[in-house]
């Protein structure tokens, strides 16, 4: 029995694959669980149409992510914080602080997308990765400077 997979099935195939399975496995497991549909000409044509729509949408999202990545990659953020002796900060610079600094430049980024292993606790220049999409990341330069004494 030939089927088109609607979802990834472990040890069988990925979404959109046309697979040949035993009649019982297809009729009693895959089709009732809505994991696959029969591979007749009508279903194949319908699936190809849906696949084209999904690919076009994904291409549009990818181009927007690449554009955002290009804008972020050239960005240098300067943050003035209070620091004590040996250039140690009184607090720390967190992903939330970096997200707010990026938002001040006119680009909205979720703080969970900022890949900061641990908060910054010393003065200096840091390269921070920002994950925009699954395979698109940008690197933002963050300069942590000592604030002027009041």
Q: Do domains 2-64 and 69-146 have the same CATH topology?
A: no
Tens-place pLDDT, residues 76-86: 999 999 888 88
Q: What is the pLDDT of residues 11-56, one digit of tens each?
A: 898 888 889 999 999 999 999 998 899 999 998 898 888 888 888 8
- Give the start-to-end residue ranges of the domains of the chain: 2-64, 69-146
Report the topology of domain 69-146. Answer: Ribosomal Protein L9; domain 2 (3.10.430)
Topology (CATH) of 2-64 = Ribosomal Protein L9; domain 1 (3.40.5)
pLDDT for residue 149: 67
Spatial separation of the C-alpha atoms in residues 76 and 142, rounded to whole Å: 6
């Amino acid at each position: 029995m030939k089927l088109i997979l609607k979802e990834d099935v472990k040890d069988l195939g990925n979404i959109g694959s046309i697979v040949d399975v035993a009649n019982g496995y297809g009729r009693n497991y895959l089709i009732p669980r809505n994991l696959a549909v029969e591979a007749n000409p009508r279903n194949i044509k319908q699936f190809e149409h849906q696949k084209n729509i999904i690919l076009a949408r994904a291409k549009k999202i990818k181009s927007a992510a690449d554009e955002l990545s290009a804008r972020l990659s050239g960005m240098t953020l300067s943050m003035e914080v209070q620091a004590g002796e040996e250039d140690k900060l009184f607090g720390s610079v967190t992903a939330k602080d970096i997200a707010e600094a990026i938002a001040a430049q006119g680009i909205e980024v979720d703080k969970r997308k900022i890949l900061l292993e641990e908060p910054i606790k010393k003065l200096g220049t840091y390269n921070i990765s920002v994950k925009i999409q699954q395979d698109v990341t940008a690197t933002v330069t963050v300069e942590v400077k000592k604030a002027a004494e009041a």
